[in-house]
A = this chain, B = another copy of it.
Amino acid sequence: MDAKMTLQEMMEFLQEVFPQVKDDFVLEQMDGETVTMRLMTAERHLRPGGTVSGPSMFALADVTAYVATMAPIGREALAVTTNCAMDFMRKPAAGVDLIAKGRLLKLGRALTVTEVLIFSEGSDKPVARAGLTYSIPPRRTEDTVT
C-alpha cells in the first residue's frame, strides 16, 4: 500500500501533533508499510553512564508506530496507543543516535499493529524491540462539505 502523505507532510503533521518532541525525531524513510525514524540523542534522553533512557526508547517506538499507522491512512491525529510490549535487550551505545525500523503488520479498520526494532546507529544488533497497537477512531461519515 502506498503512503498517503509525503515525508515532508508527515514531518509537518508530527510537529503539530507532538510539539514537545519535534526537535528529537527525524523521519528518514516512509512508505505505506515501513518507517525509519532517528532519535537525535541529547543530554535529556540519557541515564547516568550515558545510555539512552527507557522512556526515550519508548517514545521513539511510539512515534515510529504512529507514523506507520498514519502513512497509509492519512491525517488522523486522534489515533491512540492502546498497547505496547517492549523488550530492552542491550545497552545503547553512548554518544550515537538511535535508529528505529518500523513495519506495519496489520492495518485493520479499528486497530493497527506495528513492530519496531531499535538500533544504535552503526550496529546491526537491536537494542530494543516493541510491538504496538494503535486504535483508530471511527471516521465521522458526515464530514460532508457543502
Residue ranges of A at the interface with B (Cβ–Cβ < 8 Å):
16-20, 44, 46-48, 53-56, 58-59, 62, 77, 80-91, 105-106, 108, 110-111, 113, 115, 117, 126, 129, 131, 133, 135
Given contacts A54-B59, A87-B133, 11 further A-B pairs with CB under 8 A are A19-B48, A20-B53, A54-B81, A55-B56, A58-B58, A82-B88, A83-B87, A84-B84, A85-B85, A89-B108, A106-B126
Identical copies in the complex:
4
Closest to A86 in B: B84
Residue of B85, B90, B115 touching A84 (CB-CB under 8 A): B85
Q: Using known A-B contacts A58-B54, A80-B88, determine if residue A129 contacts B110 with beta carbons closer than 8 Å.
A: no
